[in-house]
Structure 1
Amino acid sequence: MLVALIIACEVGFWVLLAGGLALRYLAGMPRLGAALLLCEPLLELVLLAVSFVDLKNGGEPSWRHGLAAFYIGYTVGYGHYTVKWLDGHAAHRFAGGPKPPGAKYGRARAVHEWKLWTRTLAGAAVALGLLQAGILYVGDAADTGSLQAWQFVALRVLGIQALVAATYSVWPRKAPAGTDTESGAGPAGTAR
């Protein structure tokens, strides 16, 4: 049941996101669209509550609980960023807004990658905290090895993201000749 709820939350996230953006930019109802977008965190609260209720009712801690913690952590770390990124692109595409800037080369790309790492850090911290809360909540009543294994997975993901960011810092990607290195814009400010 927990895996089905995680899938439902993910589908619900994208349905609410698409619906919110459609209301904002296609239907001309920006307030209703924003209200719909603000409902997205409720999905994670439902998932969190169901996970703990499952553990309270004697559910054996398993990979499903770890996956739920990861999903909630990812949403905390990247949810707002994803909504903002897609909102910027929708505003550009459907409302004549400016094209969202991108960091493709050099120092700007390295800074962007380290910002993504801080989001990963936030998500990993949430996942680690939820997993530890689950371990403490269950106590000695059940085997918590799978939850502990997910904690190590969170640390590995954080380490891999740090390596990726470090490679962009040490070996920055060079812009093609004639482009702005900070934005990736072509000659005379044309977007690529």
Structure 2
Amino acid sequence: MGKLRGSVELNFVGWMIVISEVGFWVLILAGLLTRYIFKLNRLGLFLLALTPVIDAILLIATSVDLYRGATATQVHGVAAIYIGVSVAFGKSMFAWADERFQYYVMKQGPKPVKRYGMDYAKHYFKSWGQHVLAYLIGAGILFGLIYLINDPSRTEVLSGFLKIWTLVLGIDFIFAVSHFIWPTKAKG
């Protein structure tokens, strides 16, 4: 298929990630439009509730691809990370989009708040907790795929993703703690 930056080939799973990301935001936008513009709350909530279905489809596609004999690539690792992040941060992404849609499009509700100081530190630390949840979900998927394939030569990339993501999680923890030590200040 097509190439994506350098030597990473955008295969079936790669296209599924792209489609999943686009589908995720299309469902959010459709849900918000249906809910606020067309005043169909139930249908809007139903559209928003469909987003986990996208994750399930991506998980199935990734698993089937590897089960059929594909050697794991970076794209398979990204799929696991995508699913973990989508599940762990999904609710806060909905809230973020909902708040901005109400304020900027509907001209209703309070202006989204810019956080500083200890408020920002607490918020960032909560996000780190979501990162831990995303890691647990994504790492669980990666371990599951490694176990399912049971061939280290075909899953070496997935093991590498686990090591890198563990390091990233640790670095993110350091950033989270640093905001309590050196709180951000409002400009001006």
Task: Give me the TM-score of the superposition, normalised by structure 1.
Answer: 0.85
1:162 maps onto 2:146 in alignment: no
Equivalent position of 1:106 in the other structure: 117
Q: CA deviation at 1:89?
A: 2.1
Q: What RMSD, in angstroms, separates the aligned Cα atoms of the two structures?
A: 1.7
Equivalent position of 1:7 in the other structure: 18
Q: CA deviation at 1:141?
A: 6.8
Indicate the structure (1 or 2) with the bigger Cα radius of gyration.
1
1:52 maps onto 2:63 in alignment: yes
Which deviations, in whole Å up to 9, do the C-alpha atoms of 1:44-81 show, x marking residues without a partner? 00000111111111111221210110110110121111
Correspondence list, 1:27-66, <5 A:
27-66=38-77
Q: CA deviation at 1:160?
A: 2.2
Which deviations, in whole Å up to 9, do the C-alpha atoms of 1:82-138 show, x marking residues without a partner? 011111222234162233444x22211110110010011111111111111111111
Distance in 2 between residues matched to 1:75 and 1:27, nearest whole Å: 27
Aligned length: 176
Which deviations, in whole Å up to 9, do the C-alpha atoms of 1:1-59 show, x marking residues without a partner? 11001000000011111111111111211211111000011000000011111111111
Q: Which moved more, 1:64-73 or 1:152-161?
A: 152-161
1:96 maps onto 2:118 in alignment: no
1:90 to 1:58, Cα distance in 2 relative to 1, 3 A: same
Distance in 2 between residues matched to 1:72 and 1:176, nearest whole Å: 36
Distance in 2 between residues matched to 1:142 and 1:176, nearest whole Å: 52
- Kept after mapping to 1: 8 A contact 2:70/2:154: no
Counterpart of 2:123, as a letter, is H
- Alignment gaps of 5+ in structure 1: 178-192
Q: Percent identity?
A: 34
- Alignment gaps of 5+ in structure 2: 1-11
Q: Which secondary structure does the structure 1 equivalent of 2:183 belong to?
A: coil
- Kept after mapping to 2: 8 A contact 1:25/1:95: no
Q: CA deviation at 1:157?
A: 2.1
For residue 80 of structure 1, the aligned residue among 91, 99, 117 is 91
1:173 maps onto 2:184 in alignment: yes
Runs of 4+ in 1 over 6 A off after TM superposition: none
Correspondence list, 1:120-159, <5 A:
120-140=131-151, 142-159=153-170
